[in-house]
Amino acid sequence: MPRPLDLSLDLIARAHAVPVADDESALRLLTDEELGPGLDRIIEERAGGGDLWVFAYGSLMWRPEFSGAESRIGTVRGFHRRFCLLQRRFRGTPERPGFVLALDRGGLCKGVAFRLAGADLRETLMPVWRREMRGKGYVARWLPVETHGGTVSALTFLVNRASDRYSGRLTDTEIADKIASACGHMGPSAEYLFRTVEACARLGIHDRHLWSLQALVAERLRACEGGGAVATQD
């Protein structure tokens, strides 16, 4: 099992005690009408019938946008979990963007496969589609997910490398600098990191990238408490 976390909600709250107002101009969100054609296409691309699955590897693990009929620990191969998607709204600002997770090319990722109940695919998928796709940061694919009950085909959200929010491959130190200093109207970027690591720990999933980042971010927030300054963005 991973060692106890360095990062905590108390530490994060003390470092980001001042609320941040929402700035709708920081990220235009697609409407349901604009999202509809893409959702229709992904439903058409679904091979065969059977159960409907969604693969979660970040905030969907701890705040799913659906009521799962079943969940299984699962592994996706060919993609790895990484903080590579800038967030200039919600948990960051244009001046101090935070990060959210996405799947990028290479390696593998262990997460949770959720089986969704619902006869109408469009109606069942729209809530999670709206949440993940309205900011243009992701592309959706049906990927095989290996689980203890067999391999399932799950809707999976990968990073959109064509998006201006895609950061490329920064070092953990560079990512930690941004996460430690970023806060939006939904709260600090560090809270998103903490809750994801906490969920992984609870599920027995160890990800070296996440554990390295939570230690680096905690170090920066403690330095801020000691009279230093949380790293600012360029």
DSSP per-residue codes, 58-117: SHHHHS-SS-EEEEEEEEEEEEEEEEEEEESSSS--SSS-EEEEEEEEEEEEEEEEEEEP
Residue 48: partners with Cβ closer than 8 Å, 6 or more residues away:
153
Let me know if 132 is a catalytic residue: yes
The backbone region for 69, taken as left when phi is positive above 0, alpha when psi lies in -120 to 50, beta otherwise, is alpha
Of 105, 98, 114, the closest CA to residue 154 belongs to: 114
Residue 202: partners with Cβ closer than 8 Å, 6 or more residues away:
none
Residue 102 CA to chain centroid, in angstroms? 6
Catalytic residue among 132, 198, 219, 225: 132
Task: For 183, list phi and psi in degrees, rounded to 5.
Answer: -155, 135
Amino acid at 200: C
Catalytic residues: 132
